[in-house]
Amino acid sequence: KAGVTQTPRYLIKTRGQQVTLSCSPISGHRSVSWYQQTPGQGLQFLFEYFSETQRNKGNFPGRFSGRQFSNSRSEMNVSTLELGDSALYLCASSPRDTYYEQYFGPGTRLTVT
């Protein structure tokens, strides 16, 4: 099976702009989670989607949002970008019955200038 794919892999944006990141989970996986990783804060949970519904949300401002489509592909959006949003954004998918085993994509490196 193909692994989790994320596009784009690298992105440079200007403060105040918005950005959309895409994630395609492993075929058959219905749960998709998003994480933000920075040197200072480590790996932090953003939100999780299952069957097009957001089931859980981490402690991030409303500028961070996401959605999941009927084919389980997911997107996350960050509006009004701030310098502190520069990070590696990781997407992970998991099978319905094994939440503990998450498969991560390579991530999207976002740089905000």
Partner 1 sequence: LAKTTQPISMDSYEGQEVNITCSHNNIATNDYITWYQQFPSQGPRFIIQGYKTKVTNEVASLFIPADRKSSTLSLPRVSLSDTAVYYCPFYNFNKFYFGSGTKLNVKP
Phi, psi of 70 (to 5 degrees): -65, -20
Structure tokens at 52: 């097009």
Rounded to the nearest 5 degrees, what angle is found at the Cα of 48, between the Cα atoms of 45 and 50?
Answer: 165
Q: Kindly tell me which residue out of 19, 48, 64, 66 binds partner 1, with binding defined by CB under 8 A.
A: 48
Q: Does 103 bind partner 1 (CB under 8 A)?
A: yes
Q: Kindly tell me which residue out of 13, 20, 60, 88 binds partner 1, with binding defined by CB under 8 A.
A: 88
Q: Kindly tell me which residue out of 15, 17, 38, 43 binds partner 1, with binding defined by CB under 8 A.
A: 43
Nearer to partner 1, 39 or 62 (CB): 39
Phi, psi of 95 (to 5 degrees): -70, 160
Q: Would you tell me how many other CB atoms lie within 10 Å of the CB of residue 45?
A: 15
Nearer to partner 1, 38 or 80 (CB): 38
Of the candidates 54, 112, 56, the one whose C-alpha atom is nearest the C-alpha of residue 88 is 112
Residues forming contacts to partner 1 in the complex (CB under 8 A) are: 4, 31, 33, 35, 42-45, 48, 55-56, 58, 88, 90, 92, 99-107, 109
